[in-house]
Structure 1
Amino acid sequence: MKAFRFGVVAAAQEGGAKWRDIARRAEELGYSTLLSPDNLNLPTPTAALAAAAAVTTRLRVGSYVLASPLRTARAAAWEAHSVTTLTEGRFELGLGTGLPSMREQAEELGLRYANGQGRLDSISQTIDHVRRLDGDAHTPVMLAVGGPKARRLAAAKADIVAPAGGALTTRDEFAAHIEEIRSATEGRDVELAMNIFVVGEHVPPWIRGFIGADAETLIEHDSLSMICGSVDDMAVELERRRAELGFSYVIVNGAFIEEFAPVVARLSGK
């Protein structure tokens, strides 16, 4: 089993000073990675992440995730390699096909919103361009994957795989998807990442609107989108998820950066 590491997802929407404070705090609390989402209503992740890396020394930074409809494959690779260079290897490139809402944003940029296969092809081409640009360097690539075609692409080319599902996706469903990924890696060693939307038993309204479930529903369905209880309880549950499903890279929403920190201190590197 891989050792635990932890990431936190936040956005630089409140300005540079606040963003730099978040980066410093994430590093102080022992998080491995500060991750930034991607859409036209926020600062571009690569610029934000370069700024975060500039005020930290150990913290890794990553996109969660660059949406393929918002850039050509070559442009995405250019941005990624640039951040790898400027951060001296602390950047992790997260890629995804984008939500349906990205159609309008792509059109605003003058780009075509391709079909599902086209968006996957763009991701594959982005990875190829990054590998060429990196030379002797290596930008770790994380793919957020939902369907079987995306899982096969991740198995073939990704360093980190974040299996995506709805808030009520069951453990058995995740296990089946992960087995599909592992069986297709042909022996390649991949890290499995899990995105936790809710820490504790209170779901902020904006998160509830995004995942479409309240706390009672998440608890009733034993949702992997939530983790709650004491620090001991959460540590035991994460160890269970690693043992049963292989998740060792745990990503939480920035709203819970302080609340989740004792778990980070307990499990990081173990």
Structure 2
Amino acid sequence: MRDFRFGFNFLDVPERDEFVARCRRAESLGYDTVLLPDHLGGPAPFPALVAAADATERLRVGTLVLNVCFWNPHLLAREVVTADRVTGGRLELGLGAGHMKWEFDAAGLPWEPFGARVERMERTIEELGRLFAGSGYEQRRAAAEEFGLAEAKPVQRHGFDGSGPPLLVGGTGERVLRVAARHADIVAYGGAVQIKGRPPGTFRICTAEEADERVRFVRGLLGERAGEVEFSVLVQAVLVTGDRRATAEQVAAERLPMMTAEELLESPFVLIGTHEQIAGQLVERRERYGFSYVTAHGPYMEALGPVIERLR
């Protein structure tokens, strides 16, 4: 069974001193990874990741996750190689298919059906692998040499068939998870389920039974790779309380009326209880689902800190 790893993400863009302080605080709490999403209005991922690595001694940095529809594969490869090299090989590359229609509209990008976005993601993964390996682009290399440019490669040789940084693919739907099973070093379960009949980006939290089904589905696809792939869970809330049921009932009533308190208490995407109870929940869920890489949203970084200490 894998040891635990813990990450947290930035949802805001603090000024430099606060950004540095938050990264160093996370390192002192025992976190392993600083992660950045890829949303309009949020931080630009790669500059922030480089700054986070520079501010800390050992924290890895990663994207959770890039919206591949925002990126041209060649331009993305340049960002990834640069970030991996200047951080000393501390980068993890997380990719997703995008799910916020308003962002596509604001950026002037076509809103394609979900299947088309997933196909784009897989093509991007395959193209990045070729670029990181330096294969199939003789014209590109010749042009680089003509202008005195050195075509750099990533420091790491883990993901992308040994040609780049570890690859994380995140999602919940069957099509994304199929791509993850074919290519990813880390399969990230986001726990957000689109509510049918509601605008894109309107979610509820995945139940324990749905998580069971998703994990079985991926394990069935992984086959012999099952023991090599890390399973990650994005925790949507960490609620420290001495009364689990009362807190779950309040959250269900105020924020998630489509779910029951019991469903929230059992969902692996929500942590509710004392620090000791939450530590126990994570151990149980690692055994049940294989979730060893635990990421919390930034506002819950402090709340999860004492749990990390208990699980080391």
Q: 2:224 aligns to what?
A: 187
Q: 2:19 aligns to what?
A: 19
Worse-matched range after superposition: 188-197 or 157-166: 157-166
The answer on 1:165 being equivalent to 2:191 is yes
Q: Secondary structure at the match of 1:258?
A: helix
Query: Which of residues 214, 238, 246 is equivalent to 1:199?
Result: 238
Whole-angstrom distance in 2 between the partners of 1:120 and 1:212: 30
Could you give the per-residue CA deviations for residues 233-270 of structure 1, whole angstroms, max 9, x where no partner exists? 111111110111110001111112122111111214xx
Whole-angstrom distance in 2 between the partners of 1:77 and 1:261: 34
Q: 1:152 aligns to what?
A: 178
Whole-angstrom distance in 1 between the partners of 2:300 and 2:191: 21
Whole-angstrom distance in 1 between the partners of 2:108 and 2:300: 36
Relative to structure 1, the CA distance from residue 60 to residue 245 in structure 2 (aligned partners, 3 Å threshold; closer, same or farther) is: same
Q: 2:152 aligns to what?
A: none
Relative to structure 1, the CA distance from residue 184 to residue 134 in structure 2 (aligned partners, 3 Å threshold; closer, same or farther) is: same
Q: 1:205 aligns to what?
A: none
Is the Cα contact below 8 Å between 2:232 and 2:292 reproduced in 1?
yes
Is the Cα contact below 8 Å between 2:236 and 2:270 reproduced in 1?
yes
Whole-angstrom distance in 2 between the partners of 1:257 and 1:8: 6
Is the Cα contact below 8 Å between 2:235 and 2:269 reproduced in 1?
yes
Q: 1:239 aligns to what?
A: 283
Q: 1:89 aligns to what?
A: 89
Relative to structure 1, the CA distance from residue 259 to residue 108 in structure 2 (aligned partners, 3 Å threshold; closer, same or farther) is: closer
In structure 2, give the amino acid aligned to 1:160: I
Worse-matched range after superposition: 57-66 or 70-79: 70-79
Q: Secondary structure at the match of 1:260?
A: helix
Could you give the per-residue CA deviations for residues 9-51 of structure 1, whole angstroms, max 9, x where no partner exists? 1135122221121111111111010111111212311111111
The answer on 1:142 being equivalent to 2:185 is no
Q: Secondary structure at the match of 1:228?
A: strand
Q: 1:259 aligns to what?
A: 303
Whole-angstrom distance in 2 between the partners of 1:165 and 1:30: 24
Worse-matched range after superposition: 223-232 or 176-185: 223-232
Could you give the per-residue CA deviations for residues 185-204 of structure 1, whole angstroms, max 9, x where no partner exists? 131121111111211158xx
Whole-angstrom distance in 1 between the partners of 2:83 and 2:8: 18
Q: Secondary structure at the match of 2:7?
A: strand
Could you give the per-residue CA deviations for residues 178-228 of structure 1, whole angstroms, max 9, x where no partner exists? 1111111131121111111211158xxxxx8xx9527x9455543323212
Is the Cα contact below 8 Å between 1:36 and 1:63 reproduced in 2?
yes
Relative to structure 1, the CA distance from residue 22 to residue 132 in structure 2 (aligned partners, 3 Å threshold; closer, same or farther) is: farther
In structure 1, give the amino acid aligned to 2:117: R
| Structure 2 stretches lacking a partner, 5+ long | 134-155, 158-163, 193-203, 242-250
Q: How many residues align?
A: 259
Q: 1:106 aligns to what?
A: 104
Is the Cα contact below 8 Å between 2:36 and 2:43 reproduced in 1?
no
Alignment of 1:190-229 (within 5 A): 190-200=229-239, 212-213=255-256, 217-218=260-261, 220-221=263-264, 222-229=266-273
Q: 1:123 aligns to what?
A: 121
Alignment of 1:31-50 (within 5 A): 31-50=31-50
| Structure 1 stretches lacking a partner, 5+ long | 203-207
